[in-house]
Amino acid sequence: MTIPLPRQKNLRADTAWVIYQILENGKSSRECLAKVQRRYQGKDNAWIQEMSLGVMRQLPLLQTWLRQLLDKPLKGNKKVLEHLILLGLYQIAFSRVSSHAAVSETVNAASYLGGMQLKGLVNAILRNFERQALATQPVEDPIIASGLPKWFYKRVVAAYPDHYESVVEQTNAQAPIWLRVNTCQVSRETFCEALTQQDIAFSLSEQHPQAVILVKRQDITALPGYEKGWFAVQDGAAQLAAQYLAPQPNDRVLDCCAAPGGKTGHIFEIQPAIGSCLAIDSDAIRLERVKENMTRLQHKPEIKIGDALRPDQWWDGQLFDRILLDAPCSATGVIRRHPDIRWLRKSTDIAALGALQSEIMDVMWSLLKPGGTLLYATCSILPEENHQQVAAFLARTEDAELSSLTETDTTEKPGRQILPGEQQMDGFYYARLIKSSH
235 is in an annotated binding site: no
Low-confidence ranges of the chain (pLDDT < 50): none
* Residue 277 annotated as catalytic: no
Q: Is 208 helix (H, G, I), strand (E, B) or coil?
A: coil
CATH 3.30.70.1170 in the chain: give the residue spans.
Answer: 177-233
Q: Say if residues 365 and 374 touch (Cβ distance below 8 Å).
A: yes
119 is in an annotated binding site: no
Q: Is 344 helix (H, G, I), strand (E, B) or coil?
A: helix
Q: What pLDDT is stored for residue 408 in this prediction?
A: 87
257 is in an annotated binding site: yes
251 is in an annotated binding site: no
User: How many angstroms separate the CA atoms of 106 and 119, rounded?
Assistant: 9
Q: What pLDDT is stored for residue 256 in this prediction?
A: 98
Which CATH homologous superfamily contains domain 11-137?
A: NusB-like (1.10.940.10)
User: How many angstroms separate the CA atoms of 94 and 299, rounded?
Assistant: 43
Strand partners, 434: 373, 401
Residue tagged active-site, from 256, 277, 329, 379: 379
245-435 classified as CATH 3.40.50.150:
yes
Q: What pLDDT is stored for residue 55 in this prediction?
A: 98
320-326 and 252-256 beta bridge pairing: parallel
Q: What pLDDT is stored for residue 409 in this prediction?
A: 87
262 is in an annotated binding site: yes
263 is in an annotated binding site: yes
**342-366: pLDDT as tens digits:** 999 999 999 999 999 999 999 999 9
| pTM, entire model | 0.95
Q: What pLDDT is stored for residue 92 in this prediction?
A: 97
349 is in an annotated binding site: no
Residue type, 266: H
211-214 and 202-203 beta bridge pairing: antiparallel
User: How many angstroms separate the CA atoms of 322 and 247, rounded?
Assistant: 7
CATH 1.10.940.10 in the chain: give the residue spans.
Answer: 11-137
Domain covering 177-233, topology: Alpha-Beta Plaits (3.30.70)
Q: What pLDDT is stored for residue 412 in this prediction?
A: 87
User: How many angstroms separate the CA atoms of 401 and 311, rounded?
Assistant: 23
CATH 3.40.50.150 in the chain: give the residue spans.
Answer: 245-435
259 is in an annotated binding site: yes
Long-range contacts of 111-119 (CB under 8 A, 24+ apart): 112/6, 112/8, 112/10, 112/13, 113/6, 113/13, 113/16, 113/17, 113/80, 113/81, 113/84, 114/77, 114/78, 114/80, 115/78, 115/80, 115/81, 115/84, 118/74, 118/78, 118/81
User: How many angstroms separate the CA atoms of 300 and 283, rounded?
Assistant: 19
User: How many angstroms separate the CA atoms of 123 and 300, rounded?
Assistant: 57
Read out DSSP for 20-38? Answer: HHHHHH---HHHHHHHHHT
Greatest pairwise CA separation for the chain in angstroms: 77
